[in-house]
Amino acid sequence: MFEILSLKNGIENVSGFFCDGVNCGLRPNSEQGDLAFIRSEKISNIAAVYTTNRFAAAPIQHALRYGKVFEGNFILMNAKNANAMTGKKGIEDIEEILDALPKELELVNPVMSSTGVIGYRLPKEKIFAGIEKLDFNAKNSDAAATSIMTTDQFKKELCFQVTLEGGSSFTIAAIAKGAGMINPAMATMLCFITTDAAVPKEEMQELLQGATDSSFNKISVDGDTSTNDTVYLMANGASGVYDKEAFKVALDRITFELAMMILKDGEGSNKVVAFEVVGAKDDNEAKIAAVNLSNSLLVKTALFGEDPNWGRIASTIGASGIECSEETLKIYYDNLLIYSSQKPQLDKKTEERAYKIMKQESFKIRCELGMGEGSYTAYGCDLSYEYVKINAEYRT
């Protein structure tokens, strides 16, 4: 038995963690930060899930020298420049930057995490100057969360306090960024999770991978997989408290809620849609169909048009290559049956209900395949003019 309480703000609630963010000129003519850090007083267990992109950015190549689970106490983050496709020079830049951090911080295995444009070297002088401005004893989660934003419309920050039977408690907090380039085939965007729970090192990776698989790996904004996506979990054990079951529930919940925030903030997105596929031959086939639905341009534009064009749902399932049959296929929008017995189930009245369902900020499209027991839910969003505008203009 345990209780999970949502706290205001983010990382400042977690014992032994410090964070801050400042503007060092990467984001020109702006008050908004572009350089941030998270620091733990104690050496923490750190687990990471990185992008599956073969051109993993320099910060990931650099961090991989420590393995996927390591001990450390510092992450430096920057926006506006991904430090990707920059080769060995990109890694050397990181080493130089991390070397410039104050010696009194006694950094152990410090890492860096970057997001922004691909293919340009980091402007080191700006970052050196930014380091001078950072307060390494601050507890300014808001500044850190806003500093890592790119095309994000709102900051993503959450904190839970978990109280176990008997009254002992630990805290878990996370900040994240993401908006475009979100795809379920990988670790997805940037997310930094801190906790004062005493998570054993050997359980870190399994817990983080599980949480990532059931959250960030289930969402898709545009089907593109970035070079920089990273999820870090830092556990410093400062609370002295740990319960695996409670921690797993809290971690899964914080990552899932952040994933939904990212999807809601998908570039130009107006609604979040759950694509629930059940009755597939197996879970893998259900996943293929659900992910294809969440990525289909024709499905995404129909969502934007708020048109219950279920034919595109059917066509996308058929095109996905999985086992399916017209005879057993049923399609629901929320709980409204739209297609079954090889014909649309819409009359005037239900068609009106379908339109109403599609006007919601979030709803579910459920496809029953009747082929077996496999199921999977993927989460997607609509594709609007705004997405095209944001991405046509991004670099310039």
Among 44, 53, 113, 147, binds a copy of itself (CB under 8 A): 53
Do residues 171 and 11 lie in contact, with contact meaning Cβ atoms separated by under 8 Å? no
Q: Which amino acid is at 165?
A: E
Do residues 273 and 382 lie in contact, with contact meaning Cβ atoms separated by under 8 Å? yes
Tokens (6 digits) for 117: 């444009």
What is the separation of C-alpha 62 from the centre of its chain, rounded to a whole number of angstroms? 21
Decide: is 393 part of the binding site for a copy of itself (CB under 8 A).
Answer: yes
E-strand spans in 267-391? 272-280, 330-333, 336-340, 343-344, 362-368, 374-381
Decide: is 307 part of the binding site for a copy of itself (CB under 8 A).
Answer: yes
Among 103, 343, 348, 349, binds a copy of itself (CB under 8 A): 343
Among 16, 344, 370, 372, binds a copy of itself (CB under 8 A): 344
Whichever of 198 and 298 has its CB closer to a copy of itself, that residue is 298
* Binding to a copy of itself, residues 82-121 (CB under 8 A): 82, 84-89, 117-121
Q: What is the DSSP string of 251-288?
A: HHHHHHHHHHHHHHTSTT---EEEEEEEEESSHHHHHH
Active site residues: 188
* Strand (E) or helix (H) holding 96: helix 87-99
Whichever of 14 and 58 has its CB closer to a copy of itself, that residue is 58
Decide: is 394 part of the binding site for a copy of itself (CB under 8 A).
Answer: yes
CA angle 343, 346, 350 (to 5 degrees): 160
CA angle 69, 75, 79 (to 5 degrees): 125
Decide: is 185 part of the binding site for a copy of itself (CB under 8 A).
Answer: yes
Whichever of 168 and 320 has its CB closer to a copy of itself, that residue is 320
Q: Rounded to an integer, what distance in angstroms lies between the CA atom of residue 195 and that of residue 151?
A: 27
Whichever of 176 and 338 has its CB closer to a copy of itself, that residue is 338
Whichever of 220 and 236 has its CB closer to a copy of itself, that residue is 220
Smallest distance, Å, CB 350 to a copy of itself? 14
Contact pattern from residue 310 through residue 329 relative to a copy of itself, giving x for each residue in contact according to CB under 8 A and a dash for the rest = xxx-xxxxxx-xxxxxxx--
The residue ranges that bind a copy of itself (CB under 8 A) are 52-56, 82, 84-89, 117-121, 180-181, 183, 185-186, 222-227, 296-298, 301-302, 304-305, 307, 309-312, 314-319, 321-327, 339, 341-344, 383-385, 387-389, 391-396
